[in-house]
Chains A and B, each alone.
Chain A
C-alpha cells in the first residue's frame, strides 16, 4: 500500500462564487470579484476596492446552518468545508479516524472589533457573545462539530501561508497512519482590523490589482474559504472511483529576512518551491502550471518572480495569479488556491491572470492571460508566501 495522499473532494466560497461550479464559471468567463465594499462597514469604503463574498451574514448563516450572529469566518468555513465533504462522499465516514485542519488569521475579529468600541467606553459594556469566538481556533471547533470530526482538530495561523501549511500537516497525519481522512484548508473574513492593518503598510491598490505587471500598485483584500478532502490509499479504494489528483509534494521554508517584506532574491519562495519539487521527485520542467502567490505588491511579485526565474531556468511553465479574481484571501488563500489547483488537474485548466498589461522588466516570462480547458495538466505547483517569512508550496499531481 503506498502512502499516496488522494484528493477526494473540494469545496470553496469566494468573491467569485459560493461553490465550485460558480467559481469555475467566473474563472472561465473572466469575471473578477472586486468591487466597492458592500458588507463591511469601514471608513475606507469608497476608497479601497475589496473582493467580498457576495452574501451578508444572514444569507451565509442560512447556507451554513449556523446562527447568524456567529463570526463570518466560521460561516464561510462551514460552507466550503461542507461542500468538500459532500463532494468526497466517503462511505462510512463516521467510523473513520477523521481530522479537520483549518487555518485563519482573523478568527472572530469581525465581531470583536465591534465589541471593542463598546468595551473601550465602558469595560462592563459590549455583548460577550461577540467575543466568545474571538480565538482563531473557535471557528474550527464550530465547523468540526458540523462535520462530525472528533479525532483531530487543529488551526494554523502563519499569515498568508496558513492553509497551505494546514493541508500538508493533515497529509502527514494520514501518511503516518494517524488519520484516515482529513478535511484541510482555511478561511478568513474581511475585517476592519485587517483592512486598516494592510492600509498602514501602504500595499493596497486603490484600483483593481494587476499581479506580475510592471506597473502593479498593490493588492486587493478578499475573503473566502477553501478546503480539500484528503484520504489514504486504503480509503481511496473504497470510493466509487479512485481520485485522479494527489498531493505529491510540499515544503515549508522561512525567508528570515524581515517581518513583512520578502527578500529581494526570494530566498524563502525559492526554498519552498524547490523543497516541494524535491519532496515529490517531480522535476521543474515537469510542472504544467504554477498558481502564483502573486498578490500584486511590488515586493512579493519581484521576490516570487526572481525565485521562479532561478528555479525554472529556461523552461517557464504557464503561470497565473488567481488573486486577480478573488483578491488576497489571506489565511484562506492557500486553501482557495489548492482547490483551484485540484480543479486544474481534474479538468485540465489554466486560469488567466486578469488585467495583465506590461511584462515586468526583471523577468523573462509573463503570466497567462487566456483561460484554457482540456490541457494536459499533470503537475501543478501552488505558492503561498506570507508575513513572518512563512513560505509554503504545495505540489499536486495527476495519478
Chain B
C-alpha cells in the first residue's frame, strides 16, 4: 500500500522547519501552526466550523490537492477526543442556562464524525465514510479500515487521517490527572529530564492511500501492526521481533527508527529497553518534542517518516551518511496502545 499524499496541520510549521532544527519552544503545551483557512475552505461553511473541524478539513483538502484526487473512494478519520470545542460550548450553555435557550450549532458540530462528514459534504462525496474513536488506536483503526477496504479491491484511494485538539478546558483537566510536566522545558530537552510528565500536543494529519504505486508516492507502507496492553517489556520485544520476522526485515535493513518517547520517565522506559534489544544499533529519533503527546500523534510520526523517505533528508543531529530509505515507527500511548509501521522508499 502506498502513501500517495500526506498533509498535516501541527505545531511545526513545515517539514523544512523540522530539518533546520529550529524548534526549541519552551512550553508544556504545543499549539498547531494554523494556515489562513479562508484560502482553503468555502467561507459559507467555515462559519460553523470549530477549530478542530477547520484543522481536519484543511489538512484533508491539502492532501487531496497534492494527490490530484477530487473524490476519494473512502474517507476515514480517527479521533480520540472528538470535537471538544463545541462539546464544551454546548455543555457550558446547558449548565449555565439550566437546559433552556440552547442552540443547535454547537451540538451538531460536537459529534465525533463531524470532520469526516464535513469533508464529504464539501466534496459531495457519497462514498464510504467512517470515524474511529479508540484512544491511542483511533488513527490505527482508520489505517486498518483503509487497508481492509483496499484489500477487498473495491476501492482505489482512501483518505485517512488522525486528528486531536487541545482546548483550555481539556488541558486543565488533563493537567489535573498529572499528565504533563510541571515546568516548561525547551522541548528537545524533554527526554533528558528524568522527570514525570510529558508535553501536550495536537494535530490534524491526513494521507491519501492507494493499493498500487503511482510513481510519485511518498513511500510504501510495507508493514503495519498493533498490539494492546502488553504485560511486560519482554512482550513488547517479542511483538516487535515477530513483526520484523513477518516482514522479513533484519535490524541492519532499517535505516531509521522513529519512536514515541514523550519525556515522561515511566512512559519512556520501554523505549530504552527496546533500543538495547530488538532495535539495538539502529539510528533513532523521537518525534513528540515536535508535536507533543496526544492519542493520534502516530499520524504525525507517519507524516514525518513519509517526508524523510521522500526527501531523503534527516533532521540535523542525526548521522546523515546514508539516504534513509527504510523507516520503522514504534509508538505507544499510555502503554496501552502500541503500534508499528514500516515504510520503504519506492
A389 touches B117 (CB 8 A): yes
Residue B277, interface by CB 8 Å: no
B121 touches A389 (CB 8 A): yes
Given contacts A157-B112, A256-B120, A388-B111, contact A200 B104 (CB under 8 A): yes
B95 touches A120 (CB 8 A): yes
- Nearest chain B CB to A306's CB is how many angstroms away? 16
A137 touches B130 (CB 8 A): no
B residues 126-185 touching A (CB-CB < 8 Å): 126-135, 137-138, 141, 144-145, 148-149, 151-152, 169, 172-173, 176-177
Partner of B92, one of A42, A116, A136: A116
| A350 to B108 Cα, complex, angstroms | 34
* Chain A residue contacts of B226, Cβ below 8 A: 152
Partner of B129, one of A132, A199, A252: A252
* Interface-centre pick from A128, A152, A200 (highest chain B CB count, 10 A): A200
* Chain A residue contacts of B121, Cβ below 8 A: 256-259, 389
A253 touches B96 (CB 8 A): no
| A151 to B226 Cα, complex, angstroms | 9
A158 closest partner in B (C-beta)? B113
Residue B70, interface by CB 8 Å: no
A200 touches B107 (CB 8 A): yes
Partner of A150, one of B102, B112, B148, B229: B229
Residue B116, interface by CB 8 Å: yes
B129 touches A389 (CB 8 A): yes
A158 touches B108 (CB 8 A): no
Residue A15, interface by CB 8 Å: no
* Chain B residue contacts of A359, Cβ below 8 A: none
| A105 to B228 Cα, complex, angstroms | 23
A137 touches B111 (CB 8 A): no
| A159 to B116 Cα, complex, angstroms | 12
A120 closest partner in B (C-beta)? B95
A residues 83-120 touching B (CB-CB < 8 Å): 105, 107, 112-113, 116-117, 119-120
Residue A165, interface by CB 8 Å: yes
B120 touches A254 (CB 8 A): yes
Contact code string B220-257 (vs A, CB < 8 Å = 1, else 0): 00000010110000000000000000000000000000
Residue B218, interface by CB 8 Å: no
Residue A28, interface by CB 8 Å: no
Partner of A201, one of B91, B108, B176: B108
- Nearest chain B CB to A65's CB is how many angstroms away? 19
- Nearest chain A CB to B105's CB is how many angstroms away? 9
**Interface size (B, Cβ < 8 Å)?**
61
A136 closest partner in B (C-beta)? B133
B residues 85-109 touching A (CB-CB < 8 Å): 90-92, 94-96, 98-100, 102-104, 107-109
Residue B260, interface by CB 8 Å: no
| A253 to B120 Cα, complex, angstroms | 10
| A138 to B125 Cα, complex, angstroms | 31
Residue B324, interface by CB 8 Å: no
A120 touches B80 (CB 8 A): no
A176 touches B99 (CB 8 A): no
* Chain A residue contacts of B177, Cβ below 8 A: 128, 132
A259 touches B133 (CB 8 A): no
* Chain A residue contacts of B80, Cβ below 8 A: 135, 137
Which one of A52-60, A190-198, A370-378 contacts B? A190-198
B residues 38-93 touching A (CB-CB < 8 Å): 48, 75, 80-82, 90-92
B94 touches A154 (CB 8 A): no
| A311 to B134 Cα, complex, angstroms | 35
| A112 to B137 Cα, complex, angstroms | 22
Partner of A390, one of B48, B110, B117: B117
* Chain A residue contacts of B135, Cβ below 8 A: 135, 137-138, 141
- Nearest chain B CB to A256's CB is how many angstroms away? 5
B residues 9-62 touching A (CB-CB < 8 Å): 48
Residue A153, interface by CB 8 Å: yes
B133 touches A256 (CB 8 A): no
* Chain B residue contacts of A199, Cβ below 8 A: 102
| A271 to B131 Cα, complex, angstroms | 19
Residue B283, interface by CB 8 Å: no
A153 touches B137 (CB 8 A): yes
* Chain A residue contacts of B96, Cβ below 8 A: 120
| A252 to B148 Cα, complex, angstroms | 14
| A107 to B152 Cα, complex, angstroms | 31
* Chain B residue contacts of A119, Cβ below 8 A: 169, 173
* Chain B residue contacts of A260, Cβ below 8 A: 104, 108
A201 touches B133 (CB 8 A): no
A203 closest partner in B (C-beta)? B104
Residue A315, interface by CB 8 Å: no
| A220 to B28 Cα, complex, angstroms | 45
A173 touches B113 (CB 8 A): no
B128 closest partner in A (C-beta)? A252
B134 touches A140 (CB 8 A): yes
| A271 to B169 Cα, complex, angstroms | 40
| A66 to B24 Cα, complex, angstroms | 46
* Chain B residue contacts of A158, Cβ below 8 A: 112-113, 116, 129-131
Given contacts A120-B92, A137-B138, A258-B121, contact A172 B111 (CB under 8 A): no
A253 touches B91 (CB 8 A): no
Residue B323, interface by CB 8 Å: no
B residues whose Cβ falls under 8 Å from a Cβ of A: 48, 75, 80-82, 90-92, 94-96, 98-100, 102-104, 107-114, 116-118, 120-121, 123-135, 137-138, 141, 144-145, 148-149, 151-152, 169, 172-173, 176-177, 226, 228-229, 336
Known: A137-B137, A172-B152, A176-B152. 9 other contacts (CB 8 A): A43-B98, A44-B99, A112-B91, A113-B91, A135-B81, A153-B134, A254-B126, A258-B121, A388-B111
**Closest 9 interchain pairs by CB?**
A388-B117, A197-B107, A157-B112, A137-B134, A200-B104, A136-B133, A43-B99, A254-B129, A137-B135
Name 8 interchain pairs, CB-CB below 8 A, sorted by A.
Answer: A124-B176, A150-B228, A152-B228, A193-B94, A197-B90, A259-B48, A259-B108, A387-B117
